Amino acid sequence: MRFSRGVITIAIIVIVLAVGISVGLVKLLEKAPHLAAPPEASCTVRTPAGERVLDPEQAQISATIAAVAARRKLPERAVVIAYATAIQESKLYNLPFGDRDSVGVFQQRESQGWGTKEQIMDPVYATNKFFAALVKVKNYRKIPLAEAAQAVQRSAGGYAYAPHEEEAKILAAAFTGRVPQAVHCWYPTATRTPAPEPKTSEARRQLTRALGSTAIVSKKRGWLIAAWSVAHAEKYALSRVRYSGAAWSNDVEADGWRPAGTSGTTQVELS
């Protein structure tokens, strides 16, 4: 069968266009991750013992528990017990509901004397109440975690706290500041311009509520403050935290902290 020169020309044009469109689609698909909607805000906790992913509220609760423990000069074991309890009771969320009148991070009950519902819904207050009860438990540092947690919570299923011990140890190592640069968060920024001003004064005020003095008397305390600040970055519109020659920035491409070029930084700088 013979084809006219015009038909052949049209066929060639169609083939060239098809190839061009195909190549264009391939290139577009390669760029799709960048064109797609940005991921939701999240935090990564990374220590030698393992890695965990939290959402901002869970990270903020974790940071608050560590700060309150530091204010009360409690050992890391107390923080581990608190985390394991909170993971079991609320998955590290400040829940406004629960079994009967249980609310908050530790699912404390107004009817059992933990405080009013409004008080219990304040994570700083709730954590202080938890630790006040924990330190009254004889040998709480040495007895099994589930036994210590159950002595505080008086739960129907006290055995349920034990499976969360390893995760609690990872979080405690990071948020107490024992492992530097262990907390990295990212959140999508607003598209409106100008960008929201960072609420650094409010961030420091709320940190002071939990931690007391924000003076840095050790590298560990400095990294606790840095971790708290990164965990609360979205809440207070922070885009950069610097401490001890390292910097966190709200960059979706970043995989953790980066060198900041100033090794002598002695304060946690927020911006």
**How confident is the model over 224-270, as pLDDT tens digits?**
999 999 999 999 999 999 999 999 999 888 888 999 876 556 799 99
Residue 105, in any domain of the structure: yes
Q: Is residue 7 part of a domain?
A: no
The answer to whether residues 85 and 170 belong to one domain is yes
Whole-number pLDDT of residue 31: 52
Domain containing residue 239: 193-270
Q: Could you tell me if residue 201 is inside a domain?
A: yes
Domain stops at, among 175, 202, 224: 175
pLDDT band for position 12 (50/70/90)? low
In a domain? residue 21: no
Q: Are residues 47 and 152 in the same domain?
A: yes
Q: What is the pTM of this model?
A: 0.84
Burial track 164-196 (b if 16+ CB lie within 10 A, e otherwise):
bbebbbbbbbbbbbbbbbbbbbbbeeeeeeeee
Q: Has residue 65 been placed in a domain? A: yes
Q: What is the pLDDT of residues 68-95, one digit of tens each?
A: 999 999 999 999 999 999 999 999 999 9
Q: Pick from 111, 143, 175: which residue ends a domain?
A: 175
Number of domains in the chain: 2
Residue 117 predicted with pLDDT over 60: yes
